[in-house]
Structures are given as structure tokens and as C-alpha cells.
């Protein structure tokens, strides 16, 4: 396998396909790099080098006992970027991965970046607080944690329809998509997935977003039941200078899998803009 070892001894798996301008992908909770295969194959076929890693504790990366927070995730992403010496990157993140991208920029800056893309991403803050009254209540995330500790296999089966909007009348989500969500989720360590809930729900990315100084695309499904669009993408776009926004009516949190043609079309157009600028 293609792996790097971080400073704390954690093994991070990554996949690296194609040649051309670099595009990195950070995945959502509790999945792994395979969630990006539809986007990676497409972009690799259109002249890009695509790199995606499994977050620590997820997929084929080792199940570290510590570092299961946004600082740790961002530093692991930086370690992959530096090990491969990637430059001029379009850095893409979905859901928790969007938080990872934001924290990477907050901690490591944009010297290696050309552009950024946040897809159904958790910033600026998911949790309901006095300063963020539109957020989701702590009880919702406590319920996630309790469900994982009790029966994580069933918890993931219950969560998948919400993730992909399969619970909506007339939804056309294949059984295969729901099955692969369960398969990938079960590859995450229980401690890692459990602690990641705090990371994606309670981290405030406001200052990270204010540090964005590269062209940024914000993409979000308007029927996202996991990361509501009004409390995430809409607010992030206001904090990121000059952000471009694309909203998809009726699409779910898992739009990269349910509607890859739409996502790939818009992602390719944005990546090509960066490639032309470098050229």
C-alpha cells in the first residue's frame, strides 16, 4: 500500500492516480478515500493528478488513540501533501473533510494551494450555541455517540438513508450506495469514529475560513439533512472572500455518490480554471 508515517507514528494510507495539476480529496465521516472514486477517476481521465487519503482511524490508515481532532486531521493532510511535494493544489473536502481543509488552511496557510472546494462541508460550526442558534443541539450528537457505543453496525445502517436522502419520497438511491456506506463506515475504528463526532460538530472554523485567500468553491445540496445548508455553506460563503457558490435543489448530503455527473461537471470546470491560471 501507499502510506506515509506521521510524526506521532500514525500510518496514513493514500491513493495517487493520474498526472497533471494536483487535486487532493478529504473524505467525510465515517468513510474513507474510496468515497471519492467517482470524482477521482473522472478527473484523472481529464488530465489531473488526484490524491486522497484515509483519515487517521478510518479505512486503511492506522487506528491512532490520539490526534482524533481537527488539528490532528489537518496536520495529517499536511504530511501527505509535503511527502508527495504537491503544489498548485485544488484542495477538496466533503463534510468533515471540508473542516479538515479549512483547518489545514488555518494552520498551514495556502502556499501550496491554487484553489479550495468545500462540498456539503461542516464549517463554520455545526453545534448550536448562543452565538450559533441555528446549529444542531448537542443532544443530537450525544445520540450519535450513544448509538455507536451500543451497536455501531446498526447505527451506520440507520444513518445511511439520511446521508443519501433515501428516506425522501420518490428517492432513487441504489442499495449498492447504501451498502458501500456501511462497508466503509465499519472500517473506521470505534474510538476514532466516536471521537471524530466531537471534532466535526464542536470545532469552530470561523477564523480558518477568514484565512482563505485562494479562489474557493462552495457546493451544497439544498436538502442536506446531515449538514443543513443555511447553517453551513451559506455562512461559510459569507466568511470566505470572493467565494463562488453552487446550490443543488433537492440534493442530499451524499451528493457526490447520488449525483456524480453534476458534481463532476462543476468540479472539473473549477479545477480547469486553476490549471489554466498555472499554465
224 is catalytic: yes
Q: Which of 95, 185, 196, 252 is catalytic?
A: 95
Q: Under a CB-based contact definition with an 8 Å cutoff, are residues 160 and 82 in contact?
A: no
Q: Which of 27, 58, 220, 253 is catalytic?
A: 253
Q: What is the DSSP string of 153-167?
A: HHHHHHHHHHHHTTT
Strands 11-17 and 3-5: antiparallel
Q: Under a CB-based contact definition with an 8 Å cutoff, are residues 92 and 25 in contact?
A: yes
Strands 89-94 and 216-221: unpaired
The neighbouring-strand residues paired with 117 are 92, 217
Q: Which residues contact 197 (CB under 8 A, 6 or more apart)?
A: 29, 141, 144, 145, 148
Q: Which of 224, 232, 236, 252 is catalytic?
A: 224
Q: What is the DSSP string of 52-115?
A: EEPPTTSTTS---SS--SHHHHHHHHHHHHHHTT--SEEEEEETHHHHHHHHHHHHH-STTEEE
Query: How many residues are present in the chain?
Result: 279
204 is catalytic: no
Q: Which residue has the cell 480554471?
A: 273
Q: Which residue has the cell 465515517?
A: 30
SS3 26: strand
SS3 234: helix
Burial 181-209 (b: 16+ CB within 10 A, else e): beebbebbbeebbbbbbebbbbbbbbebb
Give the residue numbers marked as catalytic.
95, 224, 253
Amino acid at each position: 500500500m501507499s502510506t506515509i508515517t506521521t510524526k506521532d507514528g500514525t500510518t496514513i494510507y493514500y491513493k495517487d492516480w493520474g498526472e497533471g495539476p494536483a487535486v487532493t480529496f478529504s473524505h467525510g465521516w465515517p468513510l474513507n478515500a474510496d468515497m471519492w472514486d467517482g470524482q477521482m477517476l473522472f478527473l484523472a481521465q481529464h488530465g489531473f493528478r488526484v490524491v486522497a487519503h484515509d483519515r487517521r482511524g478510518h479505512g486503511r490508515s492506522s487506528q491512532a488513540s490520539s490526534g482524533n481532532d481537527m488539528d490532528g486531521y489537518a496536520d495529517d493532510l499536511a504530511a501527505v501533501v509535503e511527502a508527495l511535494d504537491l503544489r498548485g493544489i485544488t484542495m477538496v473536502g466533503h463534510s468533515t473533510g471540508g473542516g479538515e481543509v479549512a483547518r489545514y488552511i488555518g494552520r498551514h496557510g495556502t502556499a501550496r494551494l491554487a484553489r479550495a472546494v468545500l462540498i456539503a462541508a461542516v464549517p463554520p460550526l455545526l453545534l448550536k450555541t448562543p452565538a450559533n442558534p441555528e446549529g444542531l443541539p448537542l443532544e443530537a450528537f450525544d445520540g450519535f455517540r450513544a448509538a455507536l457505543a451500543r451497536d455501531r453496525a446498526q447505527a451506520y445502517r440507520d444513518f445511511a438513508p439520511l446521508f443519501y436522502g433515501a428516506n425522501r419520497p420518490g428517492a432513487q438511491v441504489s442499495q449498492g450506495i447504501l451498502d458501500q456506506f456501511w462497508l466503509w463506515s465499519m472500517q473506521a475504528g470505534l474510538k476514532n469514529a466516536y471521537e471524530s463526532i466531537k471534532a466535526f460538530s464542536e470545532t469552530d472554523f470561523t477564523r480558518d475560513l477568514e484565512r482563505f485567500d485562494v479562489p474557493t468553491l462552495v457546493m451544497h445540496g439544498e436538502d442536506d439533512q446531515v449538514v443543513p445548508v443555511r447553517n453551513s455553506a451559506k455562512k461559510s460563503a459569507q466568511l470566505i472572500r470572493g467565494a463562488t457558490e453552487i446550490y443543488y435543489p433537492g440534493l442530499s448530503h451524499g451528493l457526490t455518490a447520488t449525483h456524480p455527473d453534476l458534481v463532476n461537471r462543476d468540479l472539473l470546470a473549477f479545477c480547469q480554471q486553476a490549471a489554466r491560471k498555472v499554465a
